[in-house]
Amino acid sequence: MSFQNPVFIPGPTNIPESLRKACDMPTIDHRSPLFGQILHPARQGVSKVLKSEQAEIFIFPSTGTGGWETALTNTLSPGDKVLAARNGMFSHRWIDMCQRHGLDVEIIETPWGDGLPANRYREILGADRDHRIKAVLATHNETATGVKSDIGALRHALDQAGHPAMLFVDGVSSIGSMDFRFDEWGVDIAVTGSQKGFMLPAGLAIVGFSAKAMAATQTGTLPRTFFDIHDMAKGYANNAYPYTPAVGLLNGLNEACTMLLNEGLGNVFQRHHRIAEGVRAAVHAWGLELCATDPSVYSDTVSAIRTPAGFNATDIVTHAAEKYGVAFGVGLGEVAGKVFRIGHLGSLTDVMALSGIATAEMCMADLGLDIRLGAGVAAAQEYYRATPSIAQRNAA
């Protein structure tokens, strides 16, 4: 195995040196007070990253998918109705999970490339006079299409409709990289993982529950044990877990939050935006289009790039891996073969981004696309030169 080049998949991200060291920890007794000194600061750090003063944070040895299941099984009962839009592979999968757990999902089919349609949410919620809908599901950032959605607008839709449904938000590929406002947006459950904005290896499902969501756990009857937040809360009260925690990853999470908060969340988000803008400048210079249909929904963590009709975009990903040892993301589901994805989140500099852009150019040229070598790189260089990051401005 060679580990020389950065990865450009939309998570897991490149792991900063300090986080690798934080995770690589000797065994400690996870029932000792020492463990509490890792667990509680990590949970508080997550709260701050969520911009929440009230969320209860629970962290499972699992992944974002386990976080979805935590959200559903702790609060809902078989047959409960939920409302969700499907605009990409990850929103699709969460809907699928609902159905497999016997929930009744009203699906808003949405073009892949569009953001979540707040208007449609509002119409449906407004029409649901009996408040049969218990939860509204929203994917903040569709990793498959590189589309971010306006969660504040969904909250507004709920408020306008005067609807009491809970708002569950998948922030797996946004939290820690793009602005997320748990309290301001009235989010009831936020779900994320360790391997994206937190820049850690995969292995943690991280969820935040509002007071309303906590109350719903008293009535939800879906079966659960591993993902039961009451067992978890009872453990936390004793500096412990209901089973064996992933101590090293939690130590890494604590350190990751410290890193992000020390940098300043605003700076973190601006840094992601800057790197993303450079990538988008390259895409434009190549004469290609993003899957995301409008700048207002461009994701700052991942770009899904449409290739010309008749060209299999997956070939780029395969070729980049085989010839250049560089990992991009393939298109998934409806956009399989039509897009390739450049992940640009986490621990990534402009210099690293340029190497990814240069690689994509070589791949496209190798595969016969009409791409001028250096064109995308030059566009990104121009943007990066002219738009120093906050850290660069501070250093100057």
Applying the rule CB under 8 A, the residues between 302 and 331 that interact with its own copies are 321-327, 329-330
Decide if residue 237 touches its own copies (CB under 8 A).
no
Neighbours of 1 (CB within 10 A): 2
Token pair belonging to 236 = 């936390």
Decide if residue 294 touches its own copies (CB under 8 A).
no
- By beta-carbon proximity to its own copies, the closer residue of 104 and 150 is 104
Q: Which CA distances in Å does 116 have to 119, 148, 160, 357, 381?
A: 9, 8, 17, 29, 33
Decide if residue 206 touches its own copies (CB under 8 A).
no
Among 58, 198, 298, 384, binds its own copies (CB under 8 A): 384
- Taking the complex as a whole, how short is the minimal distance between the CB of residue 220 and its own copies, in angstroms? 12
Decide if residue 119 touches its own copies (CB under 8 A).
no
State the DSSP H helix or E strand holding residue 396, giving kind and residue range, or none if neither: none
Residue 104, amino acid: D
- Taking the complex as a whole, how short is the minimal distance between the CB of residue 159 and its own copies, in angstroms? 31
What are the φ/ψ torsions at residue 37 (nearest 5 degrees)?
-75, -10
- By beta-carbon proximity to its own copies, the closer residue of 171 and 245 is 245
Look up tokens 């986080």; give the residue.
19
Residue 223, amino acid: P
Window 63-92: residues binding its own copies (CB under 8 A): 63-66, 68-69, 73, 78
355 SS3 class: helix
Token pair belonging to 331 = 């298109």
- By beta-carbon proximity to its own copies, the closer residue of 211 and 373 is 373
* Dist. CA 385–CA 392, nearest whole Å: 10
- By beta-carbon proximity to its own copies, the closer residue of 124 and 260 is 260
Among 184, 244, 266, 337, binds its own copies (CB under 8 A): 244
Answer whether 136's CB lies under 8 Å from 158's CB: yes
- Taking the complex as a whole, how short is the minimal distance between the CB of residue 29 and its own copies, in angstroms? 4
Site string (43-62) toward its own copies, x via CB under 8 A? ------------------xx
Q: Which CA distances in Å does 63 have to 39, 198, 209?
A: 17, 13, 17
Number of residues that bind its own copies (CB under 8 A): 100
60 SS3 class: strand
Token pair belonging to 186 = 């009235």
Decide if residue 7 touches its own copies (CB under 8 A).
yes
- Taking the complex as a whole, how short is the minimal distance between the CB of residue 37 and its own copies, in angstroms? 8
User: Segment contacting its own copies (CB under 8 A): 17-25, 119-127, 181-189, 267-275?
Assistant: 17-25
Window 249-268: residues binding its own copies (CB under 8 A): 249
